Each structure stands twice: as structure tokens, then as C-alpha cells.
């Protein structure tokens, strides 16, 4: 039986898609290059939470707190920067992965709200069928990551179609909880976490306001982190 892999192709998908989304949203300018540096750091923070690494997530949170800048931003955007800084600080001092995941959800909401306020023309909503099996690798973990990534893009864009595709993906993509449970000596915890995620997918499908979506995304990340932390401890 193949082992659950935290470092395989599936986990490289999210950062790559997030990078492509940001590059497609803005013209290439010095200000945008600086913004990309911060966005990339948010992506690194996000992946640290997903992988269940609280210490690494806290380090990325501290970096964002110390390096957020007002340079090149339109008038009035300072409030969004301060909000992002506050959310990064929440990660930096988070007592656990659940708290860090909730703060990451709030970051996504702030990005999307700023984009709406300044009429940023995002290209994250790329059209098509949003077939997760086609957009990611065909493995169960690849499609799982793609579903979570669609939720993120749906918040940041913001994009209703991306959000709905991610919500549907959490309900419909293949799952691997039986395989993971077997690796952990028959533990029932992975199956419960997977059922939680399916329920969150159903819940997300009916959400339209940014605050609710941010809370749900934070809950999704928290379940991902819990499962990956469980797998990691099971190997020790």
C-alpha cells in the first residue's frame, strides 16, 4: 500500500496556481513585484499551515508583519495593509494550527475585499468547466489540493465560480481516508476529518458573503493541517 505523501506533486499545485493567478491579475510594475513578494509569503504561510507546521507558519506570519508596506498603493488602501498586518500577527502568535488557519482565511477575505474596492480585474476566474481532475494531477491528493485552491482563489479573486467549484470539489473528488487510516493502524480520525471536509464543502456551496467564506476556508485548512499532523506523528 503506498504511503500518504506530504511532499508529492499535489502539494506543489497550490503555490503554482496561486502564483499564476497573481501574475495574471496585474501589470508588471515595481509595485506589483513588491506585492508579489508579499503574496508569495502568504502562499508559503498557507502551505505551512496545510502541512501542519505551526512553527514555520508563525515565522512567515512574523515576516509579513514586519515587511508589509504602503508603497505604491492607491489612496485609502492603507486600511487593507493594516488589516493584513494584524492577521499576520495573529498567525505569528497563534497557539495552535486551528488559530493560524482561521487567520489565513481572514487574509484571503481581505485580499478579495481590497480587489473589489479598487476594481482590480482578476483573471483567476478563467472560465471552463473547473474540472478538478483535469486542472490538477489525477491523484486523489492532487484533486483534493485543487479543490482547496479553488476556494482560495474564489476568495482572493473574488470569483463565485471558483469558490463554487472548490466547494463542489470537496464533496466529489476521491478521498484517501481509508488508506491513511490503515497506515495509522486503523485510526478512525482521518475518516472523521474527511467527513468534516465534505460537510464544509456542502456548507461552502451556499455561502456568498466574504466573512462566511473566510471562516469556512479557515475550517478547511484546519482539517487539512490536523490530518497531516496526524500522519507526521504516526511516522515518528
pLDDT digits (tens, 9 = 90+) for 11-40: 444 444 444 444 444 444 545 555 666 678
CA–CA dist 160, 126 (Å, integer): 12
| pLDDT per residue as tens digits for the range 135-175 | 545 566 777 788 888 999 999 989 999 999 999 988 876 66
Consecutive H or E run containing 169 = helix 160-172
Summarize pLDDT for 100-143 with one digit per residue, the tens.
999 999 999 998 998 899 887 665 554 444 555 455 455 667 77
Judge whether residue 209 has pLDDT over 60. yes
Q: What is the mean pLDDT of the chain?
A: 78
The CB-based long-range contact list for 173-176 (8 Å cut-off, 24+ gap) reads 173/132, 173/133, 173/140, 173/143, 173/144, 173/146, 173/147, 174/140, 174/143, 175/140, 175/144, 176/4, 176/140, 176/141, 176/144
Residue that the C-alpha cell 482590480 belongs to: 120
Q: Domain limits of the chain?
A: 9-235
Lowest mean pLDDT among 7-11, 48-52, 116-120: 7-11
Amino acid at each position: 500500500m503506498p504511503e500518504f505523501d506530504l511532499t508529492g506533486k499535489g502539494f506543489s499545485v497550490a503555490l503554482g496556481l496561486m502564483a499564476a493567478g497573481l501574475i495574471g491579475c496585474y501589470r508588471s510594475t515595481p509595485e506589483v513585484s513588491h506585492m508579489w513578494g508579499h503574496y508569495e509569503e502568504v502562499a508559503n504561510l498557507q502551505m505551512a499551515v496545510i502541512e501542519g507546521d505551526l512553527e514555520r507558519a508563525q515565522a512567515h506570519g512574523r515576516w509579513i508583519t514586519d515587511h508589509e508596506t504602503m508603497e505604491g498603493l492607491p489612496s485609502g488602501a492603507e486600511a487593507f495593509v493594516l488589516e493584513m498586518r494584524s492577521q499576520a500577527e495573529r498567525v505569528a502568535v497563534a497557539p495552535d494550527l486551528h488559530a493560524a488557519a482561521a487567520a489565513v482565511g481572514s487574509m484571503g477575505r481581505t485580499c478579495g475585499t481590497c480587489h473589489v474596492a479598487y476594481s482590480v480585474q482578476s483573471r483567476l476566474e478563467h472560465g471552463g468547466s473547473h474540472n478538478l481532475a483535469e486542472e490538477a494531477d489525477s491523484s486523489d491528493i492532487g484533486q483534493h489540493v485543487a479543490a482547496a485552491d479553488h476556494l482560495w482563489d474564489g476568495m482572493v479573486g473574488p470569483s463565485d465560480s471558483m469558490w463554487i467549484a472548490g466547494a463542489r470539489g470537496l464533496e466529489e473528488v476521491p478521498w484517501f481516508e481509508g488508506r491513511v487510516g490503515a497506515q495509522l493502524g486503523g485510526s478512525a480520525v482521518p475518516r472523521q476529518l474527511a467527513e468534516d471536509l465534505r460537510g464544509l464543502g456542502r456548507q461552502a456551496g451556499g455561502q456568498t458573503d466574504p466573512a462566511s467564506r473566510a471562516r469556512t476556508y479557515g475550517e478547511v485548512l484546519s482539517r487539512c493541517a490536523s490530518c497531516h499532523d496526524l500522519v507526521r506523528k504516526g511516522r515518528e
